[in-house]
Amino acid sequence: MPRPRDRYGRPLALDAPAHQIVATVPERDDISSATAWDEATSYLRLDLPFHAHEVFEQRWRCCPPGERDCWRALAQWGAALTHQARGNPKGSREVAARAIELLGGCEIVDPIDAELVMASLKDLAAK
């Protein structure tokens, strides 16, 4: 049985109070670009950046080779947001800087809002 996690993906004790435990992202071997984007951005609106990272990573693992850098950059965006939420600004800056470089050099996959992502990454990198 996997350890329960909090809203930012941190592992909790097996006997953690129920109010601290947040359900994890369902395991999938395949997820479409549209579903990944919609689901991950929904998690972000709920202040669940670790969950968004997990969804982007799932898409990265199953996407066509030409899309991998784009989805990897999005997974890094989720990781940078998670570091920020956990109070780790240095980690957030470092991961955001890597994501900016990766996203800037790849073709953006539909339906990703590259302007939204890049603005967020630049904000994280500047903090």
- pLDDT tens-digit profile, the chain (127 residues): 678 999 999 999 999 999 999 999 999 999 999 999 999 999 999 999 999 999 999 999 999 999 999 999 999 999 999 999 999 999 999 999 999 999 999 989 999 999 999 999 999 999 8
Question: CA-based angle 27:79:24, to the nearest 5?
Answer: 30
Please provide residue 91's backbone torsions phi and psi, each rounded to the nearest 5 degrees.
Answer: -60, -40
CA distances from 92 to 34, 101, 110, 115, 125 (A): 26, 14, 26, 19, 7
DSSP bridge partners of 11:
5
pTM: 0.94
